[in-house]
Amino acid sequence: MGVLLRIGRTRILIAVACMIGVIAMADWAIGNSVSLGVLYILPMMLGGIVLGRLEIVVLGVLCAYLRGRFDVPSTHAEAALRFVFASLSYLASGLFVIALVRNRQLVSEHLARIQQEQKLRREAEDQLRLLVASSPASILTLDAYGIALAVNQAANSLFALPEGQTLVGRPIAGFVPMLADALRLENAPEGFRTEAQCQGYRNDGEIFMAHVWFSSYRVSGDTRLAAIVVDASEEMRDREEQNLRQRETSNRIAAAALSHELRNLCGAISLIVGNLRERPGLTDDSDFEGLAYLVKGLGKLASQDLAPHAGDVVEIEAIPLQQVFDHLRILVEPQWREIDARVRWDLPPALPMVRADEHGLLQALLNVMQNSHRAVQHVAQPQIEVRVTADPARVLIRLHDSGPGIPAPDRLFQPFQEGADHTGLGLYVSRAMLWSYGGDLRYEPTPTGCCFVIELQRVSE
């Protein structure tokens, strides 16, 4: 039919006229003994390809008339019935072809629409695939069992997969456990969308802070998950460093107030000493007694201890020590890798709960490790070992580095030390923060390197 449609309307109509003429002449030539009226169905069907319904009716009546004109002899009633039935037959054959042509046109139009939609869909898919592939954020989809179905290159890079390997086909539980937990949620609403911050793990075991946006959807009755994962470690690092700078600023202000009082006393001492230089005897001199009194007051002010007394311990909620170490690893491991140093984490499988301020404890650990980071940069094998031991009442955190050691450990926790970086308040402030909730920070002598011990109160779970 497609070939006939490509021939053209005019040629088909000429062929129809020729076929009718040939059939009519043949029917006339053989006489009234045999009727060739059935052959008129052929031009009717051929005409149905290009003619409309009304034109088919006219053509059917014409063919029925020609059939009756050269038909076998019959009565008027028989001739009338033959004319009616022939007209209906010819009309039915023509209308059948018209219906076929119409259906073919509808199918062609529908197919063209489908092809256009498929083309647009392919273009949209290509654009979406290009967007996903070029996105700096990690994009992945998971099946109901937490197996990665599709990922972009950024995801493979984020999780530090070796060249040539991909996350597809691997369980996400080993990289972002929270996504695997989200798939196991019971009574979760269909198509839920949310975001969260959690710990992520690279292929080599390195931990990082992950910011995750994910949503669920269903395919063939199975739940699937689409997620976008980004590394928020740098943001967390900047935030914690900013908190540390703010804390150091407030401590510097407090230290400046203390220094101001010391300067007042020192000024008074200088004045009295100047007076005493003009006098020959000092034994029973009242100015000398005044100087002694001021010296005593200065000694008391300079030796004020921050050790907690009864009722001075701040009520701090219990915190999970594991969470503090997770954040600490995110903050310090990149800095130690930059100098090709090793960080050994000797931690028990289950870390206990401790009584502390999470940010204060993190800042104390960060301060000690930053001091060790500066100390080990010029040694042959730079490393630090972080070891946690616990008993029923307390938790001890030892930080032992491979640096050159401390030449004067008795002056470690004194503020404003000569040769210290910045103000020399780091260890002084860290110990004060730990003291505020019943903890402690002390130096532990070792044959090599430098070791600090942080002591915390353990909380029964």
Q: What is the DSSP string of 184-205?
A: T-TTPPTT-EEEEEEEEE-TTS
Model confidence at 395, in pLDDT bands (50, 70, 90)? very high
CA distance 411 to 401: 19
Closest CA to 334 of 367, 379, 364, 370: 370
For the stretch 166-182, pLDDT in tens is 999 999 999 999 998 88
pTM over 0.85: no
Model confidence at 394, in pLDDT bands (50, 70, 90)? very high
Q: Are 281 and 310 in contact (CB under 8 A)?
A: no
For the stretch 79-107, pLDDT in tens is 788 888 888 888 888 888 888 888 888 88
- State the average pLDDT for the chain: 81
Closest CA to 326 of 406, 438, 233: 233
Q: Are 435 and 308 in contact (CB under 8 A)?
A: yes
Closest CA to 405 of 434, 435, 371, 436: 371
Q: Are 363 and 244 in contact (CB under 8 A)?
A: yes
CA distance 87 to 95: 12
Summarize the confidence of residues 255-283 as an average pLDDT. Answer: 66
What's residue 309's pLDDT? 43
Closest CA to 88 of 14, 37, 34, 49: 37
Q: How many CB atoms lie within 10 A of CB 368?
A: 23
Looking at the predicted structure, is the pLDDT value of residue 423 above 60? Answer: no
The first and second tokens of residue 16, run together, are 């129809």
Closest CA to 139 of 129, 200, 182, 209: 129
Better pLDDT: 43 or 69: 43
Residue 148 φ/ψ region, left for φ over 0, alpha for ψ in the -120 to 50 degree band, beta for the rest: beta
CA distance 338 to 330: 14
The first and second tokens of residue 177, run together, are 């456990």
Tally of residues, the chain: 461
Closest CA to 159 of 134, 140, 146: 140
Distance from chain centroid for Cα 84: 78
Angle at 95 between CA 90 and CA 99, to 5 degrees: 155
Better pLDDT: 56 or 280: 56
Summarize the confidence of residues 400-425 as an average pLDDT. Answer: 70
Looking at the predicted structure, is the pLDDT value of residue 417 above 50? Answer: yes
Q: Are 404 and 420 in contact (CB under 8 A)?
A: no
CA distance 450 to 406: 7
Looking at the predicted structure, is the pLDDT value of residue 424 above 70? Answer: no
The first and second tokens of residue 134, run together, are 């070029």
The first and second tokens of residue 458, run together, are 């353990």
What's residue 308's pLDDT? 42
Model confidence at 58, in pLDDT bands (50, 70, 90)? confident
CA distance 82 to 76: 10
- Positive or negative, the Cα torsion across 370, 448, 411, 362? positive
Straight-line distance from the first to the last Cα atom of the chain, in angstroms, rounded to the nearest whole number: 84
What's residue 321's pLDDT? 92
Question: Measured between alpha carbons, how far is residue 232 from residues 84, 153, 158, 167, 360 in Å?
Answer: 87, 18, 11, 20, 21
- The radius of gyration of the chain from alpha carbons, rounded to an integer in Å, stands at 48
Q: Are 454 and 399 in contact (CB under 8 A)?
A: yes
Summarize the confidence of residues 375-382 as an average pLDDT. Answer: 89
Q: How do 383-390 and 342-346 pair as beta strands?
A: parallel
List 343's β-bridge partners, or say none: 384
The identity of residue 51, as a single letter, is L
Q: Which domains does the chain have, with CATH numbers?
A: 2-114 (no CATH), 135-231 (3.30.450.20), 235-302 (no CATH), 318-459 (3.30.565.10)
Looking at the predicted structure, is the pLDDT value of residue 1 above 70? Answer: no
Looking at the predicted structure, is the pLDDT value of residue 307 above 50? Answer: no
Share of the chain above pLDDT 70, in %: 79
For the stretch 117-155, pLDDT in tens is 999 888 888 887 787 778 888 999 999 889 999 999 899
For the chain, helix (H) and strand (E) counts, in that order, are: 12, 12
